[in-house]
Chains A and B, each alone.
Chain A
Amino acid sequence: MIHFKNVSKKYHDHSVALENVTFNVLPKEFVSIVGHSGAGKTTLLKMILAEEKPTAGSVFFESIDINDLKKSEMNDLRRRIGTVFQDFRLLPHKTAFENIAFAMEAAGRTDEEIASDVPHVLELVDLGNKMQSFPHQLSGGEKQRVAIARAIVNQPDLIIADEPTGNLDPVNTYDVIQILKKINDLGTTVILTTHNKGVIDSLGKRVITMENGKIIRDDQEGKYVL
């Protein structure tokens, strides 16, 4: 589904973010990417979203070369990918309901669909009673669950979660990972980056380990080894 082919990214001569990275992610897979800060994990994810362009090599989403896309096609691509970040990235002046509705509006969904799907997806992440709350009225865990709800509401083919548990306590971390697992079980591909050894070891899914912009390990049912 996602295919990196000899991808390198240099910011300038002495700063190499990625070096000759090649790997595949299959549909319905749950892949974790681990590595120290600066190993190149976030750069990798940004390339799938076309936020960064590779200096060399190509990134494919199914058979589409992401860097050949025009701006409007890029928007279509982004609607097929749900994103979750460490800092939640909710729209601060919109309620939980409106944050999710915004993603649906951007995808051109009808008002009827929005009225029925948003409450449903908020129930799914156990926030049915916080629909009209603004982000600043929610706890970290609740914000992240709103972000996940937003990421899945358009039924994307792929969820990208960039250290989604980085700002959360263990209980919320567990909840968020369980939700991601459930989403994956329902058939959505998930790419997760994390520093949390416990999370990786409990998942028992594929782990890609990165160091200095290179892939140094790629194990099915991997552990956190660094």
Chain B
Amino acid sequence: MLWTKIKRVSKSGFVSFWRNGSVSLAAVLIMTVTLLVIGSLLLLSALLTSTLTSIKDKVDINVYFVQNANESDILDLQKTLQHLPEVATVSYVTRDQALQDFRARHQNDQLTLQALDELSDNPLGAIVNIKAKDPSQYEGITQFLQSKAVNPTDGSSIIDKINYAQNKNAIDAISRIIKSAEKLGLILIIFFALVAILITFNTVRLAIYSAREEISVMRLVGASSMFIRMPFVVVGLMYGLVSGLITVLLFYPISYWLGPTTYSLGTGLNLFTYYLSNFGQFFVIIVGTGLVLGAISSFLAVKKYLKF
């Protein structure tokens, strides 16, 4: 009996989706727009995250050590740093490497290179480059370094200087911008998602409003609430499925077209490659949202006409 019921309800839903062609078309179009908005928000937030990550990635601090610092002390410090939860990566540049880098940087500057050759000893200290997981954490890391990096023999600091102080303003500004961009992004997503959901709900309600007479007839014939309601829910699911599929298909040319532009804008992300590599996830979210929105909207909309 249950199977017969499911069969009847789905058949009735499919048939009425097809026969109410113009109403279905309108509902599918509106829902497609809704899902396009939601999908765009998803892609936008991916772009934003990627942009912010690539900006964050460019922020780092260099710790310059005094020339006579012991390599073992520096390596110890590097190990300690690596274990800090705030630190993402630590790279150690030896004095020799620093000198090579310096020469490479100034290979066209004969004067500097000559001056360097005049010196008997390597004038550069070793460098440790630190990237934090979040730009706001550099201050804490700097303070930690200053308290720890002490020469065990004479108590003097092995650190010559940390370039955090010079970059402090820029780093602070970037962390502020990143924080507010993330906040704004979230607010926008929630806002537009809400608007989209309301629009869909209203559209489905209007579609069912045109069927309110039918609902009262079904009631008079003695149909139970569920038997009246479920075909409408099936129709709502159909709206969601069809518009979800259309949306997923539409994003293919859209992201293909926008892909190169988004990459060259310095976001560090090609929208098209991102879309293709996350297609499964995207498909589930868009089509799933469509199905859930359609079903819930229908379910609630019919409720209104089921009284008495």
Contact = CB atoms under 8 A, between A and B. Distances in A.
Nearest to B223: A106
B220 A89 contact: yes
Interface string B198-235: 00000000000000011011111111110100000000
A110 interface: yes
Given A78-B219, A89-B217, A91-B217, A72 B16 contact: no
Interface in B1-48: 1, 4, 8, 15-16, 19-20
Contacts of A107: 222
How many residues of B sit at the interface, in one of the four size bands?
Answer: 20 to 34
Given A106-B227, A111-B4, 17 more contacts: A49-B220, A51-B308, A72-B224, A77-B222, A78-B219, A78-B222, A79-B222, A92-B214, A93-B19, A93-B20, A102-B218, A102-B223, A106-B218, A106-B221, A106-B222, A107-B222, A110-B4
A75 B217 contact: no
Interface string A63-103: 00000000110011111000100000111110000000011
A93 B16 contact: yes
A93 B210 CA distance: 12
22 contacts: A71-B225, A75-B224, A76-B222, A77-B222, A78-B219, A78-B220, A78-B222, A79-B221, A79-B222, A83-B221, A89-B213, A89-B216, A91-B217, A91-B218, A92-B214, A93-B15, A93-B16, A106-B218, A106-B223, A106-B227, A108-B1, A154-B222
Most buried by A among B1, B222, B223, B224: B222
Contacts, number: 52
B234 to A, nearest CB: 14
A103 B214 contact: no
A61 B11 CA distance: 35
Nearest to B211: A93
How many residues of A sit at the interface, in one of the four size bands?
Answer: 20 to 34
A138 to B, nearest CB: 16
Interface of B: 1, 4, 8, 15-16, 19-20, 213-214, 216-225, 227, 308
Contacts of B223: 75, 102, 105-106
A150 interface: yes
B80 to A, nearest CB: 72
A51 B307 CA distance: 10
Nearest to B225: A71
Nearest to B306: A71
A106 B229 CA distance: 12
Contacts of B227: 105-106
Most buried by A among B213, B220, B223: B220
Most buried by B among A72, A77, A78, A150: A78
A129 B4 CA distance: 28
